[in-house]
Amino acid sequence: MTPPGSKDRIGIVGLGMNVPKKILTNFDLEKMVETSDAWIIERTGIRERRICEPGTGTSDLAYPAAVDALKQAGLKPQDVDLIIVGTTSPDMIFPSTACVLQHRLGATAAACFDLAAACSGSVFAMITAQQYLQTGRYKHALVVGAEIISNFVDWTDRSTCVLFGDGAGACVMTKVDRGGMLATDMGADGSAAELLYIPGGGSKAPSSHASVDQRLHYLRMNGTEVFKLAVRRMAESAKTVLAQAGFGLKDLDCLIPHQANTRIIQAMAKLAGIPMEKVFVNVERYGNTSAASNLMALYEAAQSGAIKRGDRVVLVAFGAGLTWGSILLEW
Ligand code: UT7
């Protein structure tokens, strides 16, 4: 946690976002699996999601978002000395997507690595970058959350394929004189790993004809259990960061949750005691973009004027692992 009033406060000085052009609507999904626009909207709030063209890498999606964030920060790629990409759908198992992005940007001075925290990826990556910046080890961090999760979704499984979409969000972080990160929280529970996972393609079940035949390379989820845990963990974590900074719910101006689905967000806000008027939601247009979700939502909240200078904003995330975390920001 960063003590409020710390002289070495870390903040966001640039934001960027990029989504693929191709829109997949609920009506398109009706032609692919046995589902309906009405069911998807009622259970998830999602109307459409963006899907990458074949051959696109996560670094390709991340690049325009990173360029925009650097432009807004007034920095050149050479000024960046740390790049962290939160992703669960990297270009390749190795090298990291951060290294691929570094080369494309020409950010030759940057140390680079990916961070695997599934849907908590951008929040975990921002908290990680904050540590390096606060010690003075690095000056300018580029943090990206980017996913092409559509390549890991089983498009014959209606219980999961309607939920996800592709996208990228980016931010530039550095020491700031005002505002910035006031408190952070991260948690994990590996005992629940198999509630949401991709069983194949890693060291335990490497890709093979058999693994592909068994569809092990696709995401699997126990939706009901994930739903309950997401609600509880995000509500607790959001309240934790406010309490750490000595604030209560009345001091919160805007909650920017992981955009998993509207029902999870509403249940979490109710449990935490936060009115929906203070909650930013854009899941209806993008679905669940996993690690990209919090940064994409922060970008749109800033662009739309939903958050303004001086506001107290909480980013709260939840994902496979299980993982969860929050950041309290003064905007
Ligand atoms: O980052 C976190 C990622 N995870 C999530 O966001 C998912 C969390 N879970 C959820 O949001 C919900 O559990 C779902 C939206 C996935 C499912 O909603 P639910 O209210 O929990 O439905 P359910 O799984 O209990 O299924 C109810 C019915 C079932 O039919 P029967 O067995 O009652 O006949 C399902 O087969 O709905 C059926 N169903 C569908 N029907 C139409 C499941 N998916 C669909 C679908 N279209 N796409």
Q: Name the amino acid, one letter, at 290.
A: S
- Rounded to the nearest 10 degrees, how much is the dihedral formed by the CA atoms of 325, 48, 284, 13? 50
Q: Is 158 in the pocket of ligand 1 (CB under 6 A)?
A: yes
Q: Is 39 in the pocket of ligand 1 (CB under 6 A)?
A: yes
Phi, psi of 69 (to 5 degrees): -65, -40
Query: Is there a single domain that holds both residue 53 and residue 172?
Result: yes
pLDDT at 3 over 60: no
Query: Is there a single domain that holds both residue 125 and residue 192?
Result: no
pLDDT of residue 8: 81
CA of 91 to the centre of ligand 1 (A): 29
Q: pLDDT-derived band of residue 69, with 50, 70 and 90 as boundaries?
A: very high
Instruction: Write down the catalytic residue from 18, 26, 261, 288.
Output: 288
Q: What is the CATH number of the domain that holds 207?
A: 3.40.47.10
Query: Is there a single domain that holds both residue 192 and residue 115?
Result: no
Distance (Å, whole) CA 274 – CA 270: 6
Residue 1 is assigned to a structural domain of this protein: no
Residue 4 is assigned to a structural domain of this protein: no
CA of 44 to the centre of ligand 1 (A): 9
Q: Is 209 a catalytic residue?
A: no
pLDDT tens-digit readout, 287-298: 999 999 999 999
Atom of ligand 1 nearest to the CA of 162: 48
Average pLDDT value for residue range 182-188 = 98
Atom of ligand 1 nearest to the CA of 261: 6
Query: Is there a single domain that holds both residue 154 and residue 216?
Result: no
Query: Is there a single domain that holds both residue 166 and residue 34?
Result: yes
| Domain end among 177, 210, 226 | 177
Q: Is 103 a catalytic residue?
A: no
| Domain end among 118, 148, 177 | 177
Q: Is 294 in the pocket of ligand 1 (CB under 6 A)?
A: no
Query: Is there a single domain that holds both residue 97 and residue 17?
Result: yes
Which residue owns the Cα nearest ligand 1 atom 21?
A: 224
Distance (Å, whole) CA 42 – CA 51: 22
Q: Is 223 in the pocket of ligand 1 (CB under 6 A)?
A: yes
Query: Is there a single domain that holds both residue 154 and residue 186?
Result: no
pTM listed for this prediction: 0.96
Query: Is there a single domain that holds both residue 216 and residue 160?
Result: no
Query: Is there a single domain that holds both residue 247 and residue 105?
Result: no
Percent of the chain predicted with pLDDT > 70: 98
Q: Is 278 in the pocket of ligand 1 (CB under 6 A)?
A: no
Q: Which residues of 200-217 are buried (b: 16+ CB within 10 A; e: fewer)?
A: bbeeeeeeeeeeeeeebb
Distance (Å, whole) CA 228 – CA 21: 33
Q: Is 197 in the pocket of ligand 1 (CB under 6 A)?
A: no
pLDDT at 6 over 60: no
Q: Is 119 a catalytic residue?
A: yes
Residue 270 is assigned to a structural domain of this protein: yes
Which residue owns the Cα nearest ligand 1 atom 20?
A: 43
Distance (Å, whole) CA 324 – CA 190: 12
- Rounded to the nearest 10 degrees, how much is the dihedral formed by the CA atoms of 162, 156, 116, 43? 20
Domain count, the chain: 2
Parent domain of 271: 182-330
Instruction: Write down the catalytic residue from 52, 99, 258, 294.
Output: 258
Handedness of CA 75, 79, 81, 87 (dihedral sign): positive
